[in-house]
A and B are shown apart, each in its own frame.
Chain A
Amino acid sequence: MQDQTTGQELKDRLNLIETMIAEGRRNTESWGWTFVVWGVAYYLAVAWSAWGHSVWAWPATVFIAVIVSIVLAFLKVGNQPGTTLGRAIGSIWIALGISMFLLFLALGLSGRLTDQHLFVAVISAILGMANGASALILRWKVQFACAVVWWVAAVTTCFGTDAQSTIVFLVAIFLCQIVFGIYGVIAGAQERQRRGPIHA
């Protein structure tokens, strides 16, 4: 067979293999929007718990955010194939959502969600862990910077006043959810535009 196949053809075949493997593994959907959705959810929960003084503020908001995320993800993913990498990242965030929902539901209902500093420290540490794990798997420095911001927030909130703790939490949400989410959406769109169509 190779008698009829030129060297250029063989090189083309090699390039085709590389392009297609990369295409299959590439996560073709941008997940930046989920960070924005959850950022908005956190702000709503903070506002509700601050002014409404309801024990349901956090569990209800987290529950609604989980439902919104599942519906939007189902609509956006469509027929995208699953990859091992995608499942690894997805499992981190699904486990985080379940943990936060159960923890804050139990704390709220038991009436033990009274120490704001502890609350901010716990939620920031959990988010730092999830962002850190995801960043290490993806080797994504920007997301690792978000993990560092959450870890800093978790530590500093233990020492400041109530007002300082609130400011630290709100700033961390803004940087790591809203700004990072919008960055993810833009970066994803640019990546898809740059790639263009492939031909087999």
Chain B
Amino acid sequence: MPDLPELNPVVHGRLRLALLSLLSGVEEAEFTWLRTKTEATDGNLGAQLLKLEEAGYVAVEKKFVLRKPQTLYRITEPGRQALIEYVQALKQLLGPAIDA
């Protein structure tokens, strides 16, 4: 019997998983857009994004647009790879139950 895969704990967090998934579909996204989509609080969202940044899964860019500060996040290649591997592990764990 083959070994069951381990789920990446950084990706597995519900909000972190949502953030990685959201970022995988766009080129880059503002903090406010991510907050609207996930309905998370500023503190929680900032903390989870920091964990993803520390893991090297997202990259952050801070800039000023019309004198307003803007924080942009984008998924990195390791982040995209981690998400792909997480989905593959999930599918393997679920097996036939995936269609149930």
Contacts and interface: CB of A to CB of B under 8 A. Distances in A.
A52 interface: no
What does DSSP make chain A's interface, helix, strand, loop or mixed? helix
Interface residues on A, range: 20 to 34
B22 A23 contact: yes
B25 A25 contact: yes
A83 B25 contact: yes
B85 to A, nearest CB: 12
A24 to B, nearest CB: 3
Nearest to B39: A199
Nearest to A3: B4
B64 interface: no
Contacts of B28: 81-82
A16 B18 contact: yes
A13 B13 CA distance: 9
Given A17-B17, A23-B25, A10 B30 contact: no
Given A1-B6, A82-B27, A83-B27, A200 B18 contact: yes
A81 B30 contact: yes
Interface residues of B, number: 34
Contacts of A197: 39
Contact of A16 (B14, B25, B27, B98): B14
B58 interface: no
B93 interface: yes
Contacts of B83: 17
Given A82-B27, A199-B39, A17 B98 contact: no
Given A13-B90, A24-B29, 7 more contacts: A1-B12, A11-B98, A16-B21, A21-B25, A24-B23, A83-B27, A84-B27
Interface of B: 4, 6-7, 9, 12, 14-15, 17-19, 21-30, 32-33, 37-40, 83, 87, 90-91, 93-94, 97-98
